[in-house]
């Protein structure tokens, strides 16, 4: 016999499957956000493929021939071709990452694209300012789209504004300030920007709508699962209430009719048991019990059916806990509870960062309850067991 | 503040108790518990606090059932506490919120009805001398208190409250924490005294604090954030 608390690492012992029934509710609740995000991602995928394809196909099919065809007439052909190659590489890389749901960071890529924009305008020369060989007019806006996918529209608008400023500055510096040239510049800017903006904004809106719809559907599912669990819990509770009131009515009737003697220890025990059972039912204020409480209540009910008066007091609400931790918290107590005699006090004190479960039963001669094997411990759960001649005290404690 | 109600106990005179409950059978039961202690005498009983106190104006301690005729008597509790009445609340509603609300309203102690037999006499005796008595159920409510404005308890105080709530045996708590039973009681009582600084001020809370300082349970400088209501009346220099 030892009064020294000894810390024992806990094993995940097998738990009756029925106890895990209400765990689904918590899981559904947690899943609402994730499900909505997943649906939004999937519905966004088509638009992403379109954007990447348009950018690369345009770049390859229209930009490249024009650049190669006019190569000898450009002011600094190396810069124009080099810019084309650089943007093609960026487009492929960013496109692949985007389609794999791991987009590259936008700011450095956007900066790179703008730098290429300036360089190509500077290197293209007056002759090809408005020709297809100045490929940045047509293609760059689509690459903005690929790089900025999923960001707010204002980012895209800002980049397009910077692109327009670069273009107009170039037009002015090349001296192409005639009415026809200005009109061409304006048309080119408008024509190459409006479609990307529409695609971008449309995709954002669609993603948002589908995310909302998915979230609504998931919330409705979660609610109906919760309602089902609550109804099941209420049914169970009603059953236990019937059991408890029958026992209480019986003993009260016998007392009233004088058939039972209040000084009889057996009658007193029955009263204690009936009162304890009713008290526990009154204390259950949760619609859907936390799985841990559910497990402990089930264990308490079982012990009580075997004739053990038991006090079960819960303070606070446990946070969602992985099954492993829940088992490490409950198993040592349910094992000791099965071995308890005379009375038992089971308490749960829970907060967001800590859950402490304790079982106190009177100590009596005899060997210790055979605890579960101690391999495969759950490190976050501390287990204390001690007997001091007065009480046997089992405590498990989880800290975040 | 009612000076008579808070007057310190005369040695030799038994502690006068008033019992307010709307169930005669409970009154009889409580009376039977208290009868085992010669230092206590029941002066009046009834189901209306005002009437009971008219019948026994000199009662040192009022045992009040928190729910009378279906109404929760928190307002009445606050009124009595503000007037300096030492009220020990007992109730079958032992949910933490109710217990903490009762402490906030100025109750000297809180007993869950099912722990009455063991703790009632000790609670009333301590209440009569403005000393805290924390029964296990109240300890549980304090240790589980998650309100943002809850008093800050030390680790030892929390642990003592938790273990006392779990085991209901100070001897076992002492063995577990490897300290003396006396020290366990000190930790628990200090935690309780911190609660007398929370919520609205009441004469009973001030009396608990004053007695705690007198007993050396806390030092005046530990009171820290507690500001006397008289402080604002001081002339500004």
pLDDT per residue as tens digits for the range A81-95: 888 888 889 888 888
Could you please report the per-residue DSSP string of A146-191?
HHHTTS-HHHHHHHHHHHHHHHHHHHHHTT--SHHHHHHHHHHHHH
Residue among A146, A136, A192 nearest A167 (CA) = A136
Q: Give the relative orientation of helices B136-143 and B181-195 as an angle to the nearest 10 degrees.
A: 60
Beta carbons within 8 Å of A369's beta carbon, 6+ residues apart: A335, A336, A338, A339, A392
pLDDT at A278 over 80: no
Q: Which of A181-185, A214-218, A392-396 has the highest mean pLDDT?
A: A392-396
- Chain B contacts to A (CB-CB under 8 A): 92, 94-96, 114, 137, 140-141, 143-144, 146, 162, 165-169, 171-172, 175-176
> pLDDT tens across B196-234, in order?
877 777 888 888 888 888 877 887 776 655 444 443 333
Lowest mean pLDDT: which of A104-118, A174-188, A352-366?
A: A174-188
pLDDT at A25 over 80: no
pLDDT at B3 over 50: no
Residue reference for tokens 């809106």 = A205
Residue B48: strand, helix, or coil: coil
CATH 3.30.565.10 given to domain A1-22+289-400: yes
Which two structure tokens, joined as six digits, stand for A119?
């360089």
How near does any CA of chain B get to the CA of A5, in Å? 7
With 0.90 as the threshold, say if the pTM is over it.
no
Q: Tell me if A275 and B96 make a contact (CB, 8 A cut-off).
A: no
Cβ atoms < 10 Å from Cβ of A11 = 19
Q: Which of B140, B143, B175 sits opposite A388 (nearest CB)?
A: B175
State how far the alpha carbon of A22 is from the alpha carbons of A27, A157, A270, A313, in Å. 9, 49, 32, 20
Q: Tell me if A360 and B114 make a contact (CB, 8 A cut-off).
A: no
The residue among A77 and A367 whose pLDDT is bigger is: A77
Lowest mean pLDDT: which of A350-359, A362-371, B136-145?
A: A362-371
Domain locations in chain A as residue ranges? 1-22+289-400, 23-217
Res. B19 pLDDT band, cuts 50 70 90: very high
Q: Tell me if A351 and B146 make a contact (CB, 8 A cut-off).
A: yes
pLDDT score for A33: 65
Q: Tell me if A283 and B95 make a contact (CB, 8 A cut-off).
A: yes
Q: Chain A partners of B67 at a C-beta cutoff of 8 Å?
A: none
> pLDDT tens across B122-155, in order?
999 999 999 989 999 999 999 999 888 888 889 9
Cβ atoms < 10 Å from Cβ of B131 = 21
The residue of A349, A359, A398 whose CB has the most chain B CBs within 10 angstroms, and thus the best one to mutate to test that interface, is A349
Res. B157 pLDDT band, cuts 50 70 90: very high
Q: Tell me if A356 and B162 make a contact (CB, 8 A cut-off).
A: yes
pLDDT at B64 over 90: yes
Percent share of chain A, pLDDT over 70: 85
User: What are the φ and ψ backbone dihedral angles of B49, each rounded to 5 degrees?
Assistant: -55, -40
> pLDDT tens across A123-162, in order?
887 778 777 878 888 788 888 888 888 888 888 899 889 8
pLDDT score for B223: 64
Q: Please, what is the Cα angle at A288 between A284 and A291, to 5 degrees?
A: 95
pLDDT score for A359: 94
Residue B1: strand, helix, or coil: coil
Q: Where are the beta strands (DSSP E) in chain A?
A: 6-7, 310-315, 344-350, 354-362, 381-387, 391-399
Res. B18 pLDDT band, cuts 50 70 90: very high
Tell me how far apart the alpha carbons of residues A229 and A25 are, in angstroms, rounded to a whole number. Answer: 7
Question: What's chain B's average pLDDT?
Answer: 84
Q: Which of B114, B137, B140 sits opposite A349 (nearest CB)?
A: B140
The residue among A284 and A310 whose pLDDT is bigger is: A310
Residue A4: closest CA among chain B residues belongs to which residue? B176
pLDDT score for A357: 94
User: What are the φ and ψ backbone dihedral angles of A101, each rounded to 5 degrees?
Assistant: 65, 20
Q: Tell me if B162 and A393 make a contact (CB, 8 A cut-off).
A: no
Q: Chain A partners of B144 at a C-beta cutoff of 8 Å?
A: 315-316, 349-351
Interface ipTM > 0.85: no
Q: Are B158 and B166 in contact (CB under 8 A)?
A: no
Domains annotated on chain B, with CATH: 1-132 (3.40.50.2300), 134-195 (1.10.10)
The number of helices, as runs of H, and strands, as runs of E, in chain A is 10, 6
Q: Tell me if B172 and A390 make a contact (CB, 8 A cut-off).
A: yes
């Amino acid at each position: 016999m030892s009064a020294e608390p000894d810390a024992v690492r806990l094993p995940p012992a097998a738990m009756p499957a029925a106890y895990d029934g209400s765990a689904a509710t918590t899981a559904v609740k947690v899943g609402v956000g994730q499900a909505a995000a997943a649906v939004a991602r999937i519905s966004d995928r088509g638009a992403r493929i379109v954007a990447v394809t348009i950018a690369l196909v345009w770049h390859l099919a229209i930009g490249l021939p024009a650049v190669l065809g006019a190569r000898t007439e450009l002011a600094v052909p190396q810069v124009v071709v080099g810019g084309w190659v650089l943007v093609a590489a960026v487009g492929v890389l960013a496109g692949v990452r985007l389609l794999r749901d791991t987009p590259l960071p936008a700011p450095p890529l956007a900066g790179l694209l703008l730098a290429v924009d300036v360089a190509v305008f500077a290197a293209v020369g007056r002759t090809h300012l408005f020709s297809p060989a100045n490929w940045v007019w047509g293609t760059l806006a689509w690459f903005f789209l690929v790089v900025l996918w999923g960001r707010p529209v204002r980012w895209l608008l800002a980049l397009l504004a910077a692109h327009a400023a670069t273009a107009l500055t170039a037009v002015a510096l090349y001296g192409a300030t005639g009415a026809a040239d200005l009109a061409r510049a304006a048309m080119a800017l408008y024509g190459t920007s409006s479609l990307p903006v529409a695609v971008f904004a449309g995709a954002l809106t669609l993603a948002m709508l589908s995310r909302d719809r998915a979230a609504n559907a998931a919330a409705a599912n979660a609610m109906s699962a919760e309602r089902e669990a609550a109804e099941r819990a209420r049914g169970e509770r009603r059953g236990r209430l019937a059991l408890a009131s029958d026992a209480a009515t019986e003993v009260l009737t016998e007392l009233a009719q004088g058939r039972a003697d209040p000084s009889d220890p057996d009658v007193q025990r029955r009263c204690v048991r009936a009162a304890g059972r009713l008290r526990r039912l009154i204390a259950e204020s949760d619609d859907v019990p936390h799985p841990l409480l559910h497990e402990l209540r089930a264990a308490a009910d079982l012990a009580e059916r075997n004739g053990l008066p038991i006090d079960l007091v819960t303070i606070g609400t446990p946070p969602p806990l992985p099954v492993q931790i829940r088992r490490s918290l409950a198993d040592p107590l349910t094992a000791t509870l099965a071995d308890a005699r005379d009375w038992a006090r089971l308490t749960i004190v829970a907060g967001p960062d800590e859950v402490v479960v304790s079982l106190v039963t009177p100590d009596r001669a005899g060997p210790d309850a055979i605890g579960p094997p101690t391999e495969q411990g759950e490190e976050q759960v501390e287990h204390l067991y001690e007997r001091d001649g007065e009480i046997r005290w089992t405590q498990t404690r989880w800290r975040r | 503040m009612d000076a008579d109600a808070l007057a310190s106990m005369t040695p030799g005179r038994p502690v006068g108790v008033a019992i307010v409950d709307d169930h005669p059978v409970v009154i009889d039961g409580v009376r039977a518990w208290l009868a085992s202690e010669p230092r206590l005498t029941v002066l009046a009983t009834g189901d209306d606090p005002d009437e009971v106190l008219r019948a026994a104006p000199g009662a040192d301690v009022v045992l009040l059932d928190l729910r009378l005729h279906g109404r929760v008597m928190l307002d009445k509790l606050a009124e009595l506490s503000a007037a300096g009445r030492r009220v020990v609340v007992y109730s079958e509603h032992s949910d933490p919120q109710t217990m903490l609300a009762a402490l906030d309203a100025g109750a000297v102690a809180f007993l869950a009805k099912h722990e009455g037999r063991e703790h009632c006499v000790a609670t009333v005796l301590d209440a009569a001398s403005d000393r805290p008595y924390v029964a296990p159920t109240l300890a549980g409510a304090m240790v589980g208190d998650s309100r943002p404005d809850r008093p800050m308890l030390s680790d030892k105080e929390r642990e003592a409250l938790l273990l006392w709530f779990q085991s209901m045996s100070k001897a076992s708590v002492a063995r577990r924490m490897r300290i003396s039973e006396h020290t366990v009681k000190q930790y628990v009582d200090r935690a309780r005294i911190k609660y007398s600084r929370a919520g609205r001020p009441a004469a009973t809370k001030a009396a608990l604090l004053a007695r705690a300082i007198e007993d050396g349970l806390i030092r005046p400088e530990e009171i820290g954030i507690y500001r006397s209501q008289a402080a604002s009346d001081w002339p500004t220099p």
